[in-house]
Amino acid sequence: MITVGATLPEVTFNVLVNGELTNPRSHHLFADKKVVLFAVPGAFTPTCSAAHLPGYVALADKLKAKGVDEIMCVAVNDAFVMDAWKKSANAEEITMLADGNAYFTKAIGLDMNTGDFGGFRSVRYSMLVINGVVRKLNIEDPGRFVVSDAQTMLDSL
């Protein structure tokens, strides 16, 4: 499992930009930036849609005022689902990273197998990444939503 001080692995994500599918790599997304990255088990799922994503939308300006260059959300979903979720949540300030095959999620050791519910998904977490290196890491216990929320991240900056 990834730890504070570790460099993020080099993987390719899928991101829909103006209706076009793009494939940015980790080094491009995180190089020379201060990024808040948070992960959810799935787009449109209850806690993710009711609390996790909306919290980051609501506090985006405050996070950026603390020097954060970009806020990113990652889920083991495809780019089209992530883009639809972004639009439905008015999350224009959030970059939605699709990790469709869970390559990133598995590479950092924060995957979980939900079986028939949805297969491999991400554990819920948040992290502060500076120039590709993890500086803060908040991992939720299963079924919990207490440490990966936007307010906790803001308070830690």
CATH of the domain at 148: 3.40.30.10
pLDDT tens, residue by residue, 57-89 = 999 999 999 999 999 999 999 999 999 999 999
- Give, in degrees to the nearest 5, the angle at Cα 97 between 69 and 106: 115
Residue position matching structure tokens 């991992």: 139
Spatial CB neighbours of 28, under 8 Å, sequence gap ≥ 6: none
Q: What percent of the chain has pLDDT over 90?
A: 87
Q: Kindly state the DSSP code that residue 43 receives in the 8-state scheme.
A: T
Q: Is residue 92 part of a domain?
A: yes
Q: Is residue 9 part of a domain?
A: no
Total domain count, the chain? 1
Return the active site residues.
Answer: 48
**CA 73, CA 58: separation in Å to the nearest integer?**
14
For 65-142, list the strands marked E by DSSP. Answer: 70-75, 94-98, 111-113, 120-122, 125-130, 133-139
Q: Tell how many helices (H) and how many strands (E) occur in the chain.
A: 7, 9
Mean pLDDT value of segment 122-145: 96
- Which residues span the domain enclosing 149? 15-156
